[in-house]
Structure 1
Amino acid sequence: MSKVKYYYDPDTLSYRKIEPEKSKRYRNITFFFLGSFLFGLLGLILLLNTNIINTPRELSLQREVKNYELQFELLNKKMEQIEDVLANIEDRDNNIYRLYFEANPIPEEQRRAGFGGINRYKSLEGFNNSEMVIATTQRLDIIKKQMAIQSKSLDEITKLAEEKEKLLMSIPAIQPINNEDLTRMASGYGWRSDPFTKARKMHYGMDFTAPKGTPIYASGDGKVTRADNNSSGYGKHIRIDHGYGYLSLYGHLSQYNVKRGQKVKRGDLIGFVGSTGRSEAPHLHYEVWKEDARINPINFYYGSLSPEEFENMLKFANQENQSLD
């Protein structure tokens, strides 16, 4: 209730009510509403630009932003773990796998190279967290590129391993006659006495004495290039091309178990011991060739002999005696 004001009138010796002017009243009301409006507007601006009061929508958005930040932090930790695992694989790839298969290591700068050319992350610019999003996306892209390079490297290693396995299976690495079938190891590679002329002569293979008909086995994977008696001195003989420059020869056979052009595996039965051609007694004359040069077969028995058996063979092979062909 508004206060009523009075003034003393000396003419009437009484108090009279003060009647405010209407214009002044209207002015006061206008000032009141204007001040209230300005105060309210200022308060609204302050509330909208501070965190004192938030709308439910704003609170929901803030929770979402915090959740995204937490997810990005977890993602970065997972990327750190992936990078550690990938670095370990790359290290083994360069220093074990590629080294074993004689392949050049992949340079570090090639594995860690970035992306040139246009700005790949332009669409991610202009947001509140653009730097964080761009850095994370760039990191993921680099990891994907490293994984692609590593995947190609492992594909290459797989091919090299398959080729290495093929090489190891092709090398003539077993004794062509089983030990239990041998009468004795008659003569080794080196200078020996010729059984017919008694002259000292270079013997380019190893002679395995065994009864006629004893099985003879392929010493490595390959393809039969000859199975005939058209080579002087060898009689009925077999030649197997193992690839990689290797060839094995089996001479003085009684009969064949393979034919020209046939593919064989290590340990396959290819023929039988005999005494055909220039031979003094039933035996197998065995040779190994590398790049068209005959080499000592004794260095290729790691696939079938124990250390003790190899030691005994080495002792007999080095004795200067008479060959059987």
Structure 2
Amino acid sequence: MSKIKYYYDTETCKYERIKVKKRDVVINALGFISLSIVLAIGIIVVLSKYFDSPKELALKKENEELKLYYEFTQEQLEGMDQMLKVLQQKDDQVYRTVFEAEPIPETVREAGSGGVLKYRNLLESDLSNKDLVIGTLDKLDRVKKKMYIQTKSYDEIMQLAKNKDAYYAAMPAIQPVSNDDLRRFSSGFGMRTDPVLKVKRMHYGVDFSAEQGTPIYATADGKVVLTKRDFSGLGWHIKIDHGFGFETVYGHMSKFNVRNGETVKRGQVIGYVGNTGKSTAPHVHYEVHINGRAVNPVNYFYMDLDSNQYEEILRLASIENQSLGSYANQ
């Protein structure tokens, strides 16, 4: 109960009761309410600035947990990437070396997966941490692509392993002419002096000098894909497709002993030494191609040579001398 207030009236010399107007009551009430609202707002602002609400505390805890999971995911992705690098090294340096398969180019292994544009929806979203999400997804896509490439590589290696016997039968592993004393090896692979132009030109095979009519042997199993009677360049020559990317070429022949399309075995006589085309003496020009690229044939003369003979033929091949034929790039 509110106290009754009085005031001293000098005219009547009496204490008169103070009468409170309703308007004053309303104004006082509104002032009190306003002050209370202001104080409440201030308290709320202070509390919200310096103290977290239960909901905010829960969200912060959730964010901390998500951060831990994100860091864990990044570590796992990095670990997977490192494991893939080890597998790639073994693949290129061991498995593919054993089967003489070409290493997978680094540009293929490290190729991108389409970039961040594939995440256009995320880029255009209002997600606050979209950069982290996009970065993680992009890294995951790269790891997945590397895994896919490695899987395809293992499929290829497995196929080579299953076809091991056929693979080695298709590998050019002997010399194209009988050459026990190595005296017939006359010119190696690489830059050699052209016998006609007298300048150094790339020699894409090796030359074996021999008497006219000396038998020429297929150096691996395969199929004759070309028998050509040319009067320039390689002259009468044969090309054999051995499969697995191997091809061999035999040039300057005097006679063919096989037909185009015929299947041949290693050591089978396919023709005879001649002096056809741009040749300065009877010999056979011999090339080995792997996937369309000419390689040094002496690297494959291991089946009919012992270690000492192989070292000697490597020495002979390294001597820069004159080739026995003159022709354009084959």
Length-normalised TM-score, structure 2: 0.49
- The answer for the alignment partner of 1:247 in structure 2 is 247
**281 and 231 in structure 1: CA distance in 2 versus 1, 3 angstrom threshold:** closer
Q: What does residue range 1-325 of structure 1 map to in structure 2 within 5 Å? A: 163-180=163-180, 183-230=183-230, 232-325=232-325
Q: Is the 8 A contact 1:182 1:210 kept in 2?
A: no
Amino acid at match of 1:187: S
Runs of 4+ aligned residues of structure 1 deviating over 6 Å after TM superposition are 99-102, 157-160
CA distance in 1, matches of 2:189, 2:158: 38
Q: Is the 8 A contact 1:183 1:210 kept in 2?
A: no
- The answer for the alignment partner of 1:149 in structure 2 is none
CA distance in 2, matches of 1:239, 1:231: 16
Amino acid at match of 2:166: K
CA distance in 2, matches of 1:200, 1:267: 33
Larger Rg: 1
State the shift of 1:185 in Å. 1.0
**256 and 182 in structure 1: CA distance in 2 versus 1, 3 angstrom threshold:** farther
State the shift of 1:175 in Å. 0.8
Q: Is the 8 A contact 2:193 2:200 kept in 1?
A: yes
State the shift of 1:163 in Å. 1.0
Amino acid at match of 1:259: R
CA distance in 2, matches of 1:160, 1:209: 36
CA distance in 1, matches of 2:276, 2:182: 18
Q: Is the 8 A contact 2:281 2:324 kept in 1?
A: yes
State the shift of 1:179 in Å. 1.2
Length-normalised TM-score, structure 1: 0.50
The 10-residue stretch of structure 1 (246-255 or 307-316) with the greater mean CA deviation from structure 2: 307-316
Q: Is the 8 A contact 1:220 1:267 kept in 2?
A: yes
**158 and 202 in structure 1: CA distance in 2 versus 1, 3 angstrom threshold:** closer
Amino acid at match of 1:289: H
CA distance in 2, matches of 1:212, 1:254: 8
After superposition, give the CA deviation of every residue in 1:5-45 in whole Å (9 maximum; x if it has no partner): xxxxxxxxxxxxxxxxxxxxxxxxxxxxxxxxxxxxxxxxx
- The answer for the alignment partner of 1:113 in structure 2 is none
CA distance in 1, matches of 2:284, 2:176: 9
State the shift of 1:181 in Å. 8.2
Amino acid at match of 1:223: K
% same residue: 50
State the shift of 1:184 in Å. 2.5
Amino acid at match of 2:193: S
**215 and 282 in structure 1: CA distance in 2 versus 1, 3 angstrom threshold:** same
Q: Any gaps of 5 or more consecutive residues in structure 1?
A: 1-98, 103-156
**160 and 318 in structure 1: CA distance in 2 versus 1, 3 angstrom threshold:** closer
**296 and 100 in structure 1: CA distance in 2 versus 1, 3 angstrom threshold:** closer
The 10-residue stretch of structure 1 (217-226 or 180-189) with the greater mean CA deviation from structure 2: 180-189
State the shift of 1:321 in Å. 0.6
State the shift of 1:229 in Å. 1.9
- The answer for the alignment partner of 1:44 in structure 2 is none
Q: Is the 8 A contact 2:232 2:276 kept in 1?
A: no
State the shift of 1:230 in Å. 3.9
Task: Please state whether the residue corresponding to 2:163 is helix, strand or coil.
Answer: helix
**181 and 278 in structure 1: CA distance in 2 versus 1, 3 angstrom threshold:** farther
Task: Please state whether the residue corresponding to 2:294 is helix, strand or coil.
Answer: strand
**275 and 203 in structure 1: CA distance in 2 versus 1, 3 angstrom threshold:** same
After superposition, give the CA deviation of every residue in 1:131-178 in whole Å (9 maximum; x if it has no partner): xxxxxxxxxxxxxxxxxxxxxxxxxx9986551100110011111111
Q: Is the 8 A contact 1:221 1:266 kept in 2?
A: yes
Task: Please state whether the residue corresponding to 1:289 is helix, strand or coil.
Answer: strand
CA distance in 2, matches of 1:200, 1:313: 22
Amino acid at match of 2:216: I
Q: Is the 8 A contact 1:250 1:287 kept in 2?
A: yes
**183 and 282 in structure 1: CA distance in 2 versus 1, 3 angstrom threshold:** farther
Q: Is the 8 A contact 1:172 1:219 kept in 2?
A: yes
After superposition, give the CA deviation of every residue in 1:59-100 in whole Å (9 maximum; x if it has no partner): xxxxxxxxxxxxxxxxxxxxxxxxxxxxxxxxxxxxxxxx98
State the shift of 1:306 in Å. 0.8
Q: Is the 8 A contact 1:183 1:211 kept in 2?
A: no
Amino acid at match of 1:171: M
CA distance in 1, matches of 2:231, 2:290: 19
